[in-house]
Chains A and B, each alone.
Chain A
Amino acid sequence: DTGVSQDPRHKITKRGQNVTFRCDPISEHNRLYWYRQTLGQGPEFLTYFQNEAQLEKSRLLSNRFSAERPKGSFSTLEIQRTEQGDSAMYLCASSSDFSTDTQYFGPGTRLTVL
């Protein structure tokens, strides 16, 4: 069990550019979650997948955001036409609904939009 990993750990981009983040869940975890966390706040739910199906999306997930989990393993989160308000920590978590469904978080990707 190597834990949830995320890549990159840090990303600095200019406003208007597209960025993509990757999350590798704990092996055999069938559920994968994306959260966003801004400074001084708790994480906010964005979306989640069960296997490859995206089952829920928060209203926070604007049409500039898209998430995929094509083979039910790793997931990507893409932000198009980034804005300064997108600057945040993007967190990924995974869980297994065959056990306690406890979510385990990765280290996060910190995005800074200049």
Chain B
Amino acid sequence: DAKTTQPPSMDCAEGRAANLPCNHSTISGNEYVYWYRQIHSQGPQYIIHGLKNNETNEMASLIITEDRKSSTLILPHATLRDTAVYYCIVRARNNDMRFGAGTRLTVKP
């Protein structure tokens, strides 16, 4: 599986959009981009995933560049409850998840 690079930490003001970047320059054609988050002492929570096209669900939007070497997770209106560690993972279907250190997002009032 391809390796990902994420900033270790980010801050965001409550009510503003949080844009979390992820670099995955060695991604293969069959690998999806997955995003999970983990709130302290809980199991990771699935957010969204995509292959080539941008994706949106009730939690977030995922923007994948045309060359697929990077992506951005967007939380449109961050709340204090969005404070968590966010993991970007690239993974081929049927493979296990390889987590990095993630980005610690702190939403501030």
Contacts and interface: CB of A to CB of B under 8 A. Distances in A.
A48 B96 contact: yes
The secondary-structure label for the interface of chain B is loop
A66 B34 CA distance: 29
A28 interface: no
B87 A42 contact: yes
Interface string A66-94: 00000000000000000000000101010
Interface residues of A, number: 24
A97 B94 contact: yes
B7 interface: no
A4 B43 CA distance: 10
Contact of B42 (A42, A97, A100, A107): A107
Interface stretch (B9-17, B18-26, B75-83, B99-107): B99-107
Contacts of A108: 42-43
A108 B42 CA distance: 7
Interface string B84-109: 01010000011011111110000000
Given A42-B87, A43-B44, A103 B97 contact: yes
A105 interface: yes
Given A42-B101, A42-B102, A43-B99, A105 B43 contact: yes
Given A41-B101, A42-B87, A42-B101, A33 B96 contact: yes
Interface in B46-68: 46, 49
Contacts of B46: 102-105
